[in-house]
Structure 1
């Protein structure tokens, strides 16, 4: 029913438990999902992951018949200075998220571009170095497990909150194998233009999140903000982008009971543009 390259993030239905969210997305006609594993944003995956949790989540997804494109996770502030115990805990969490990606058949694990704060801890250059080092290390472990590692290199609320900081991080990741997730809403909320993002970073883009925004607000339904999806998707196509897209409709302008209808409408519209 929808373009087969268009999936839906489980974050879009974070108000439901995972089985109900999966049933809703499958019932709408989606064939693949991004699995939200972000503490405080989406609780479909327990933050304290154990082997039993990995098997349980993977089993629920297998029962739904949906494919997983990526696991959208968080292993803590990548620009934080850690002691040995905290580093061990972060490494363990990474291992569990990668195990979840493997068991669900996901193509990639997505990690953030730094802490949920725009203010550097040690200074911008030092923080960007720390984030790039942590992502590169995670990529090596992911590669050993047959999973790709991607980062949402521009996130309006995190360290890399604008186009220039995203560029500084992407430059540091050159040659590492870490892919870039492009999110229309975070780009627009930061005051930047998605066309500029595509022009600068198209060679690194491995996945695209779709949600609408206006400067300062990322939480709008598609069509209710300033994002020019037709122009942005056309620019991606012109640059040879052949990856997938995911509706990440963590919106504040739609009631929970209307989310399924809004997701279907957005998917129908976006499918005509891909």
Structure 2
């Protein structure tokens, strides 16, 4: 029904428990998901993970008959300066998320581009250095688990909130295999152009999130904002992008009852452009 390159993030149905969200996604016609593991945003993956929980989540996804493209996680503010105990706790959390990523057969773990604030903890340059260093170290750990590490390098609410900061972060990752996740909604909400984003980062884009937006507002269903999906998708194709896409419909303009139909309608529209 939909493009085989198009999946749906479980964040789209974060109001449901994981088994129910997966059943809803499958019933809507999707075969692939991104798995939300963002404490306080999407609780489909508990913050405290152990081997039994990893096995339980893996079994739930397997029983739902869905593939997992990526795990969208968070290990804390990557631009925060940590003491030894805090660093040990962060590394333990990273290891558990990587175990989960490998166990569900996902290609990559996705981590944020800094804290949920535009203001650096120290200077912007120091904070960007710290975020890049943490992502590179996480990427090294990911490789040991046989998976990749990606980052959503432009996130409207986080440290790298605009195109200039995304450029600065990605320049610091130039010699690493850390991939970039492109999110149409965050780009447009920041006042930037998806086509320019593709032209800037095309050789590093590993995955694409889809949601509509207006300047300053990322929470719109596809077709209700100002995102030029056709132009952005054409630019990706022209740049040689052959990866996958995920509807991350964390929207606030439909009711929960309307959400499955909105997701299917969005999938049909995006599939027609791919």
TM normalised by structure 2 equals: 0.99
Equivalent in the alignment of 1:76: 76
The total of aligned residue pairs comes to 274
Distance in 1 (CA, whole Å) between partners of 2:175 and 2:204 is 10
Report SS of the residue matched to 2:62.
Answer: helix
Distance in 2 (CA, whole Å) between partners of 1:245 and 1:177 is 20
Deviation per residue, 1:44-85 (Å, 9 max, x gap): 000121222111111100110100000000000000000111
Equivalent in the alignment of 1:251: 251
Distance in 2 (CA, whole Å) between partners of 1:75 and 1:36 is 13
Residue 144 of structure 1 and its aligned partner are, at CA, apart by 1.1
Report SS of the residue matched to 2:60.
Answer: helix
Residue 148 of structure 1 and its aligned partner are, at CA, apart by 0.4
Equivalent in the alignment of 1:174: 174
Distance in 2 (CA, whole Å) between partners of 1:188 and 1:136 is 27
Deviation per residue, 1:124-163 (Å, 9 max, x gap): 0000000000000000010111100000000000000000
Note if 1:52 corresponds to 2:52: yes
Aligned Cα root-mean-square deviation (Å)? 0.5
Structure 1: runs of 5 or more not aligned: none
After superposition, residues 96-175 of structure 1 pair within 5 angstroms as 96-175=96-175
Distance in 2 (CA, whole Å) between partners of 1:8 and 1:209 is 9
Distance in 1 (CA, whole Å) between partners of 2:43 and 2:189 is 24
Distance in 1 (CA, whole Å) between partners of 2:187 and 2:9 is 18
Distance in 1 (CA, whole Å) between partners of 2:13 and 2:175 is 36
Equivalent in the alignment of 2:239: 239
Distance in 1 (CA, whole Å) between partners of 2:222 and 2:261 is 12
Distance in 2 (CA, whole Å) between partners of 1:137 and 1:62 is 30
Deviation per residue, 1:5-55 (Å, 9 max, x gap): 000000000010000000011111111000000011101000121222111
Note if 1:38 corresponds to 2:62: no
Distance in 1 (CA, whole Å) between partners of 2:120 and 2:230 is 35
Distance in 1 (CA, whole Å) between partners of 2:195 and 2:47 is 35
Structure 2: runs of 5 or more not aligned: none
TM normalised by structure 1 equals: 0.99
Distance in 1 (CA, whole Å) between partners of 2:52 and 2:227 is 41
Distance in 2 (CA, whole Å) between partners of 1:14 and 1:212 is 18
Distance in 1 (CA, whole Å) between partners of 2:144 and 2:52 is 22
Equivalent in the alignment of 1:87: 87
Residue 114 of structure 1 and its aligned partner are, at CA, apart by 0.4
Distance in 1 (CA, whole Å) between partners of 2:91 and 2:34 is 22
Residue 189 of structure 1 and its aligned partner are, at CA, apart by 0.4
